[in-house]
Amino acid sequence: MLAAAGALSPGYRRNPATVRATRDAMLREYARAQTPQEAREDAGTGDGLEEPEIHRAEIELPDGGHLVLTDIEDITPERAERTAARIARILQSKERDRQS
C-alpha cells in the first residue's frame, strides 16, 4: 500500500521517516484490533451512567383510539392532554400523513 501511494505522484520521493511512522501506526492498529480488551465484570457500574427511569402514560383517544406516551422525562397531565389533542386532530383531519 505504501509503495502504491508513492507511485501515484511521479518524481516524488517519500520521506523514510513518514513511511516508517505510517507503517508502525498501521501495525499498531492491526495488533489492537486482533487483541481486544477483556470485559471487566464490573463494567458500567459506578460510572454515573445509570439506567434512566422510563415514564409511561396511557391515554384513550376519541373514536376508541389508545395512545401510549413514554419518555425519560416526567409526563405531566398537561403535556399528555396536549399530545392527545394533537394526535386526535391528526386522526380527524382529512389530509393523512403520507409516510404512514
Containing structural domain, residue 66: 55-92
46 within a domain of the structure (yes/no) = no
The mean pLDDT value of the chain amounts to 81
Tens of pLDDT, residue by residue over 65-81, are: 888 999 999 999 999 99
C-alpha angle 76-80-81 in degrees, rounded to nearest 5: 115
Number of folded domains that form the chain: 2
Beta-carbon contacts of residue 31 (< 8 Å; ≥ 6 apart): none
Whether this model's pTM surpasses 0.85? no
Helix (H, G, I), strand (E, B) or coil at 40: coil
Tens of pLDDT, residue by residue over 5-19, are: 656 666 777 788 988
39 within a domain of the structure (yes/no) = no
98 within a domain of the structure (yes/no) = no
43 within a domain of the structure (yes/no) = no
- Contact between residue 65 and residue 89 where contact means Cβ atoms under 8 Å apart: no
56 DSSP β-pair partners: 70
pLDDT band at 51 (very low <50, low <70, confident <90, very high): confident
> How far is C-alpha 56 from the chain's CA centre?
22
